[in-house]
Chains A and B, each alone.
Chain A
Amino acid sequence: MIAENLPVLPIVLPILAAPLCVILHRPRLAWPLAVAVAWATFGVCCALLARVLADGTISYQLGNWAPPFGIEFRVDSLNAWLMPLVSGVGALVLTYAPRSLAAEVARSRHGLLYGVYLLSMTGLLGMTVTGDAFNVFVFLEISSLSTYALVSMGPDRRSLMAGFRYLIMGAIGGTFFLIGVGLLYMKTGTLNMADLAERLPAVKDSRTVLAGLGFLATGLSLKIALFPLHLWLPSAYTFAPSAVTAFLAATATKVSVYIVLRFFFTIAGVGESLGNGAVREAIMLLALVGIFVASLVACFQQEVKRALAYSSVAQIGYILVGVTMLTVDGMTGALVHVFNHALMKGGLFMVLGCVVARVGGSRLSDLRGIGRRMPLTAIAFVIGGLGMIGVPATVGFVSKWYLVLGALEAGLWHVAAMMLVSSLLAVVYVWRVVEVMYFQEPEDAPEIDEAKTDEAPFGMLLPTLVMIGATIWFGLDTDLTVDVARRTAAMLLGGGS
Chain B
Amino acid sequence: MSTFVGLYNYWIVIVLMMAGLYTVIAKGNLVKKVIGLNLFQTSVILFYVGMGKVEGGTAPILVHGDGAEEVVYSNPLPHVLMLTAIVVGIATTAVALALVVRLNEAYDSIEEDEILEQDPTT
Decide whether A and B assemble into one complex: yes
One of A138, A175, A182 near B84 (C-beta < 8 A): A138
State the Cβ distance, A485 to closest chain B Cβ, in Å. Answer: 33
Please determine whether B44 and A167 come into contact, CB atoms closer than 8 angstroms: no
A162 CB within 8 Å of chain B: yes
Please determine whether B92 and A171 come into contact, CB atoms closer than 8 angstroms: yes
Please determine whether A141 and B37 come into contact, CB atoms closer than 8 angstroms: no
Chain B residue at smallest Cβ distance from A181: B81
Please determine whether A175 and B40 come into contact, CB atoms closer than 8 angstroms: yes
Please determine whether A182 and B47 come into contact, CB atoms closer than 8 angstroms: yes
Whether A168 contacts B24 in the complex (CB less than 8 A), given A138-B84, A158-B119, A235-B122, comes out as yes
| Bound Cα distance A175, B44 (Å) | 8
One of A145, A148, A175, A182 near B41 (C-beta < 8 A): A175
Chain A residue at smallest Cβ distance from B38: A171
Please determine whether A182 and B44 come into contact, CB atoms closer than 8 angstroms: yes
Interface string of B13-53 (1 = CB under 8 A from A): 00000000100100000100100010011001001100100
Whether A152 contacts B102 in the complex (CB less than 8 A), given A141-B88, A178-B44, A182-B47, comes out as yes
| Bound Cα distance A141, B89 (Å) | 10
In the complex, what residues of A have CB within 8 A of residue B85's CB?
137, 178
Q: Is the interface of A mostly helix, strand, loop or mixed?
A: helix
Which residues of chain A (175-193) have a CB below 8 Å from chain B?
A: 175, 178-179, 182, 185-186, 191
A→B interface (CB under 8 Å): 134, 137-138, 141, 145, 148-149, 152, 157-158, 160-165, 167-168, 171-172, 174-175, 178-179, 182, 185-186, 191, 235, 239
Please determine whether B44 and A161 come into contact, CB atoms closer than 8 angstroms: no
In the complex, what residues of A have CB within 8 A of residue B121's CB?
158
In the complex, what residues of A have CB within 8 A of residue B41's CB?
171, 175
Known: A158-B119, A171-B37, A175-B44. 6 other contacts (CB 8 A): A137-B85, A145-B88, A145-B91, A157-B103, A158-B121, A167-B99
Chain A residue at smallest Cβ distance from B115: A161
In the complex, what residues of A have CB within 8 A of residue B8's CB?
none
One of A138, A145, A149, A179 near B44 (C-beta < 8 A): A179
Please determine whether B119 and A167 come into contact, CB atoms closer than 8 angstroms: no
State the Cβ distance, A156 to closest chain B Cβ, in Å. Answer: 9
Whether A157 contacts B88 in the complex (CB less than 8 A), given A168-B33, A172-B40, A182-B78, comes out as no
Please determine whether B99 and A172 come into contact, CB atoms closer than 8 angstroms: no
| Bound Cα distance A145, B97 (Å) | 13
One of A141, A162, A179, A182 near B91 (C-beta < 8 A): A141
| Bound Cα distance A166, B37 (Å) | 13
Nearest 4 Cβ contacts at the A-B interface: A157-B106, A161-B122, A141-B88, A158-B122
| Bound Cα distance A178, B44 (Å) | 8
User: Looking at B47, B88, B91, which has the most chain A CB atoms within 10 Å of its CB?
Assistant: B88
Chain B residue at smallest Cβ distance from A186: B51
Interface string of B57-69 (1 = CB under 8 A from A): 0000000000000
State the Cβ distance, B16 to closest chain A Cβ, in Å. Answer: 12
| Bound Cα distance A145, B122 (Å) | 20
| Bound Cα distance A179, B48 (Å) | 8
State the Cβ distance, A95 to closest chain B Cβ, in Å. Answer: 27
| Bound Cα distance A158, B100 (Å) | 13
Chain B residue at smallest Cβ distance from A176: B44
| Bound Cα distance A148, B88 (Å) | 14
Which residues of chain B (71-87) have a CB below 8 Å from chain A?
A: 77-78, 81, 84-85
Please determine whether A163 and B99 come into contact, CB atoms closer than 8 angstroms: yes
- A and B contact pairs by CB, cutoff 8 A, 9 listed: A145-B95, A157-B103, A158-B121, A160-B106, A163-B99, A167-B99, A175-B40, A186-B51, A191-B77
One of B40, B78, B88 near A185 (C-beta < 8 A): B78
Interface string of B105-122 (1 = CB under 8 A from A): 011000000010001011
Chain B residue at smallest Cβ distance from A138: B84
In the complex, what residues of A have CB within 8 A of residue B47's CB?
179, 182
In the complex, what residues of A have CB within 8 A of residue B33's CB?
168
One of B21, B77, B103 near A164 (C-beta < 8 A): B103
Whether A134 contacts B81 in the complex (CB less than 8 A), given A157-B107, A162-B122, comes out as yes
State the Cβ distance, A131 to closest chain B Cβ, in Å. Answer: 16
In the complex, what residues of A have CB within 8 A of residue B115's CB?
161
Please determine whether B51 and A182 come into contact, CB atoms closer than 8 angstroms: yes
| Bound Cα distance A240, B24 (Å) | 23
State the Cβ distance, B56 to closest chain A Cβ, in Å. Answer: 19
| Bound Cα distance A182, B17 (Å) | 15
